[in-house]
Each structure stands twice: as C-alpha cells, then as structure tokens.
Structure 1
Amino acid sequence: MAVSVPILAVIVSLHLIAFVLAVGAERRRSTAKVVPDEYDDQTFCVYGSDASTVYGLVAFALLLVSQAVVNGVTRCLCFGKGLVSGCSTTCTVVFFIFSWFSFLGAEACLLAGSARNAYHTKYRGTFGVGNISCATLRKGVFAAGAALTLLSLLASILYYLAHAKADTGGWEKHHEEGLGMATANFTHHQQHPGGEFEKA
C-alpha cells in the first residue's frame, strides 16, 4: 500500500482543528459566581458562556472521524492483507497501540471536560454561611485533551507510514511465490517430457 498524500492531509487537518478547539475550550471554560437571592436567604450560581462545551464536543467528533479514517484505510491492522515480518511490522503494531491509547485518552478528556463544563448547579446554600463555591470544570482537563490530541496525531501518522511500509501485500507475495513454483514445475516438465514413463 502506497502512502496517500490526501489521506495524510485529512488526518493532519482533523487533528489540528481538534487541537485548536481543545485549546479554545480550555480558554473558554465556564466561570460562575455566587449571587444572593433577593427574595430569600438562599444563594445561587450565575454561570458564564457554555462555548467550551461545544468546542470540546466538536473536537471529540473530529478526532473520532480522523481515527476512523486511519483505521479504515489500514483496515484496523487486523482485516487487511498480511504484513511482512520484520522491524516494519513490529513498529506498525507499536504505533497502532500507541495511537489507540493516545486517542482514547484525548477522547476521555474532551468528553469528560465537556460534560463537566455543561453541569451547572443552581442553589448553593444559605446566604452568609461559610465559603460557598459553584461547581465548575477544573483547569487543565481540556489542556490535557489538547496535548493527547497532538500525541494522537503523531502516533497516527507514524502508524500509517509504518503500515504502508510493512504492507507489501501478503496474499500477493504468496500468490507470486505460487506462480514461481508453477513456472518452475512447468519448465522442469518441458525439459523432461517423458518423466517416469521413460524409465519403463
């Protein structure tokens, strides 16, 4: 399988857009402040923009599409033609595992961050009692997702390139070997047309 520049461009583009969105999600996390209720002695939380949730979910979707493209082209390493044994195949398996671990880590951070960022509490307690805070997403979740997205990009590219190098068409290789043996047998029979019947 030859390396396809359009496939590489799609993989890189989707990952980079997901990375930018994850960084944007980190910068646009929901903020909240405790405000006293004017009608009773309760307090409630007033939240800011929810853009971070949307950014995180879009990044999640783009990363999922990119991973589907990579594994669709390579047939998820398991359903394609056989790979030749050697260093290239070992590297392919290592990068395949690395790409899945980084992908799942990034997706977990993006999804958990989006869900937590979308979670809004309302009333927090009695006015004037203790230090009351509103539930917000902890800093660094989307940043971790962005970092793992870059790792996923690197792993996906290395996996794709290693797979392209190792994929010499296992079935075609054996098929050509079979053709070579058939040709050799045919040549042998041409040189000795009588075969065993000549001995009689």
Structure 2
Amino acid sequence: MASTILIVLILIFDLIAFGLAVAAEQRRSTAHIATDAEKDYNYCVYDSDIATGYGVGSFLFLLASQVFIMVASKCFCCGSALRPGGSRAWAIILFIACWVTFFIAEVCLLAGSVTNAYHTKYRTVFLENPPSCETVRKGVFGAGAAFIFFTAILTEFYYLCYSKARNSFQAPYDTGVGMGTYS
C-alpha cells in the first residue's frame, strides 16, 4: 500500500517548489542604463535580486521531493522484485519520465537563478554603445514551473504504480527443482 503521508509530503514539497518558481518568474531582475552625474560613462542599474533566492529555493524543494520519493521506492532498482504486469510496466515508464522532467526542471531553475544573479559590472564611455544589461529571459522560471508540475504528477503516479507492483508480489515458496516423484 502506498504511504499516504509520503504522498502528501511529496505533494506539499512540489507545490512549494512550483509556487517559488512562479514567484521567481514574476520577480526576475530588470535593468536599465544609467549615466553617471558627470556624464562620462554609462552603467547598468539592476532592481531586486529576490528571484535568485526563489529559484534556488524551488530547486532545493524539488530536489528534496525527488530524493524522498527515490529513497521510499529504493530508486526502483534496489530491494525485492516487483510483480510482473501492468503496474510494473507503468512504474518503469513513469520512473524514466519523472527523471527526465525532473532534470529539465532543475536545469531551468538553476540556469534562471545563475543568470538572474549575474549583473554586469563594467562601464562604457558615454560616446560608445550602451552596455549590455543582461537579465534572465522571460519564461525560464516559467518553464521550470511547468516541468515541476509535470514532475509532480509523474512522481505521484510512479509511486502509486510502484507500490501496487511491490505489495502484490509474492515470491514462490519452493524455488528448487521438484524431484519428489523420481525418488
């Protein structure tokens, strides 16, 4: 039987990660070009850097969620055998799918957080081209949030299928060769 406490805990962690990713998308840094008081050079001025913290928090909550579910299921490959059938087949498919979406979500969150934290520090002479005020592209944290959502759904279904295949398997009592009729 699937652990209800674990399912609820994983769902809560995934919802927190999703909320933080959406908040990071809403609060990502913006920049504008400013000129010094003597009008000698241009430089970039960035606003709040809170989206980096939200992105890292989302990254960590999603990572914790994945670690909990993999420890509970013994990462699918350790432990006793699973019952052959549909539940095991779906558990294998969902295991692979949840790892793929997890990886994509983590890459989006990490890339968005690193890019959001990066602020150009150089200045340009006033007559030259304005400096490049790099910021994170719109939608990077949003893509991370979408893949967190997919990961949450796939992980929950994976654990349910895994639990069904694990609990319904019964090992045979006698694994030896029956030689009773030949003695």
Instruction: Return the TM-score normalized by structure 1.
Output: 0.84
Q: 1:146 to 1:28 in 2, by over 3 A?
A: same
| 2:56/2:109 contact within 8 Å kept | yes
Residue number in structure 2 paired with 1:49: 48
In terms of Rg, which structure is larger?
1
What number of residue pairs does the alignment pair up? 181
Out of 119-128 and 53-62, give the one that drifted further.
Answer: 119-128
| 2:18/2:149 contact within 8 Å kept | yes
| Alignment RMSD (CA, Å) | 2.1
Percent of paired sites with the same residue = 42
| 1:21/1:59 contact within 8 Å kept | yes
Residue number in structure 1 paired with 2:4: 5
Deviation at 1:173, TM superposition (A): 1.6
**2:171 maps to amino acid:** K
Between Structure 1 and Structure 2, the one with more helix by share is 1
Residue number in structure 2 paired with 1:178: 174
- Large movers: runs of 4+ above 4 Å: none
Residue number in structure 1 paired with 2:141: 142
| 1:3/1:161 contact within 8 Å kept | yes
Deviation at 1:130, TM superposition (A): 3.7
Residue number in structure 2 paired with 1:129: 128
**1:114 maps to amino acid:** S
Out of 24-33 and 127-136, give the one that drifted further.
Answer: 127-136
Distance (Å, rounded) in 1 between the aligned partners of 2:168 and 2:2:
14
Give the secondary structure class of the aligned counterpart of 2:147.
Answer: helix
Distance (Å, rounded) in 1 between the aligned partners of 2:10 and 2:101:
15
Q: Does 1:32 align with 2:26?
A: no
Q: Which runs of 5+ in 2 are unaligned?
A: none
Distance (Å, rounded) in 1 between the aligned partners of 2:41 and 2:78:
61
Q: Does 1:107 align with 2:106?
A: yes
Give the secondary structure class of the aligned counterpart of 1:173.
Answer: coil
Distance (Å, rounded) in 2 between the aligned partners of 1:43 and 1:35:
6
Out of 50-59 and 131-140, give the one that drifted further.
Answer: 131-140
Out of 125-134 and 15-24, give the one that drifted further.
Answer: 125-134
Give the secondary structure class of the aligned counterpart of 2:158.
Answer: helix
| 1:34/1:134 contact within 8 Å kept | yes
Residue number in structure 1 paired with 2:95: 96
Deviation at 1:137, TM superposition (A): 0.6
Give the secondary structure class of the aligned counterpart of 2:174.
Answer: helix
Distance (Å, rounded) in 2 between the aligned partners of 1:131 and 1:118:
21
| 1:33/1:133 contact within 8 Å kept | no
Residue number in structure 2 paired with 1:163: 162
| 1:44/1:123 contact within 8 Å kept | yes
Distance (Å, rounded) in 2 between the aligned partners of 1:8 and 1:76:
16
Deviation at 1:132, TM superposition (A): 4.2
**1:28 maps to amino acid:** R
**1:38 maps to amino acid:** A
